[in-house]
Amino acid sequence: MGAFSLRTMRPRASQTTPKPTDAPLFPFWVEDRGLSFFLAFLVLITIFVPMIPLSRSGRIGLDLIFAFMLFSGAVATIRHRALMYLVVAATVIEFTADLIVEFNPSLGHLGWDTALKVSGMAILVVMTLRHTFRPGPISVHRVMGGVVAYLLIGLTWAFGYKLLMEQRSDAIHFQSSITGSLTGEPSRLIYFSFATLTSVTYGDAYPTHRIARSLAMAEALIGQLYPSILIATLVGMALQARSSGGVDP
């Protein structure tokens, strides 16, 4: 009777074992140092891209970097293969849309490629915040993850402005223009977005359309509230982990 009961209990114990699909596909990105590698891509975009107008090859390279960031951000938190394949497919569609618009500019006014990019960047912000504020010890890589999310917010708003200017080219006024440079190119909008996010304005660009003004006000509020909320949350998590370590034997 005892042997029979043991045999009947074995299937129940096997039900609690984790499935192979729950294992991370890319262990490097699940670890905290993946956020530091992530930060390097964002610094490259936010600092060096606005310096020069982009050629066709430069724009394609930038689109490829954005696609890689979306993919790498997805694998940092997603462990189910089916959902991973779905994110990879969405990334491929986004990059394909960028290429179609690049070689056929007449389709650019539809804004579908920019809308896909805004959606991808917004998902990436959520994924990065989820990875940064997950339970566990606070490390320097987790702090870098908070910086990554801050930069991603600025980039998301930049492409949001681009989507608006594809419909209304006068939504944001730039006082000085460079010959051969469009006011709706990503480099100028990245500059305007981070100037708004950090509340550092030089008066050379300002929103004129009501939707652009609403977006600018929302971005400015996030730029003021996010650093304080980030610091308070990380400090609270660090103190909670320290107190829990002191109580446990």
Res. 3: pLDDT tops 80:
no
Q: Is residue 217 very low, low, confident or very high in pLDDT (cuts 50, 70, 90)?
A: very high
Q: Cβ(101)–Cβ(120) under 8 Å?
A: no
The string of pLDDT tens digits covering residues 58-114 is 777 777 877 877 777 666 656 567 767 777 787 888 888 888 877 877 766 667 778
For residue 166, give the 3-state DSSP assignment.
coil
| Tens digit of each residue's pLDDT (9 = 90 or more) over 107-154 | 666 677 788 888 878 877 887 787 778 777 777 777 888 888 899 899
201: how many CB neighbours lie within 10 A of its CB?
Answer: 13
The region of weakest confidence among 13-22, 118-127, 141-150, 202-211 is 13-22
Q: What is the mean pLDDT of residues 215-238?
A: 89
DSSP code string of 72-89: HHHHTT---HHHHHHHHH
DSSP state of 19: P
Tell me the pTM: 0.76
More confident residue, 235 or 19: 235
**Backbone Cα Rg of the chain:** 22
Q: How far apart are CA 133 and CA 129, in angstroms?
A: 6
Nearest 5°: the CA angle 182, 188, 193 is 140
Nearest to 63 by CA among 212, 21, 71, 210: 71
Distances in Å between the Cα of 231 and the Cα atoms of 40, 94, 144, 155 are 21, 34, 12, 21
The CA-based dihedral angle spanning residues 81, 83, 85, 88, taken in that order and rounded to the nearest 10 degrees: -130
